[in-house]
Amino acid sequence: MSDVDISIGLIVDEHKSVFHIQIDKDDCWTPIVSETCFDKIFEWCKFLQRIEGWMKDQIDSPLQNEVFNATHESIFGNIVSEDILDIECITQKSEFNPFAIKICFRNDYILVSPISDGTTIETSLFNKLDNLEVFRKLGEFEFVSVSKI
């Protein structure tokens, strides 16, 4: 699944809308955070079927912004209903130009980072690609808390 363009949406506290985190498809580098609403939400059990169908060109309609409810999935158990402890921008040490975002929880994280086709996400138990290792070839990078920006 390393070539799948995927982003993440989070419902924070009692907000009715979703905070959508993705990488800008125009430059394949810049993280974008927006607030949006979605009409249709699929159950998580449809996720692999829909993604694999899309990758094999078996889905008639294009996958634009499909939303999958993962609230009750054990692989996200250390994220759902947990406090966000920090949000970090990941940037090259030589220049503050964030290319990824890491949302930190007590026992897990969500990493949103670019791939050649757009965006990927990973947690400690989901889609663990170690995508940041690719960026080590560009030089040293650092994690900068948004509270310090």
Question: Given pLDDT bands bounded at 50, 70 and 90, which one contains residue 142?
Answer: very high
pTM of the model: 0.80
| Average pLDDT taken over every residue of the chain | 82
Judge whether 2 lies within some domain. no
Q: What is the spatial distance between Cα 13 and Cα 19, in angstroms, rounded to a whole number?
A: 11
Let me know if residue 142 belongs to a domain. yes
Residue 1: inside a domain: no
Residue 39 lies in a domain: yes
Residue 20 covered by a domain: yes
pLDDT-derived band at 47 (thresholds 50, 70, 90) equals confident
The CA distance from 17 to 11, in Å, is 7
- Backbone region of residue 28 per phi and psi (left: phi > 0; alpha: psi in -120 to 50; beta: other values): left
Please give the residue that has the higher pLDDT: either 19 or 5.
Answer: 19
Q: Is the pLDDT of residue 5 over 70?
A: no
Beta strands 41-43 and 67-69: pairing type?
A: parallel
- Is 137 domain-assigned? yes
Cα separation, 148 vs 63, in Å, equals 36
Give buried/exposed letters for 106-144 (b at 16+ CB in 10 A, else e): eebbbbbbbbeebbbbbbeeeeeeebbeebeeeeebeeb
Whether residue 3 is contained in a domain is answered as no
Structural domain boundaries, residue 87: 8-148
Query: Among 82-86, 101-105, 126-130, 143-147, which stretch is predicted with the lowest mean pLDDT?
Result: 126-130
Domain total of the chain: 1
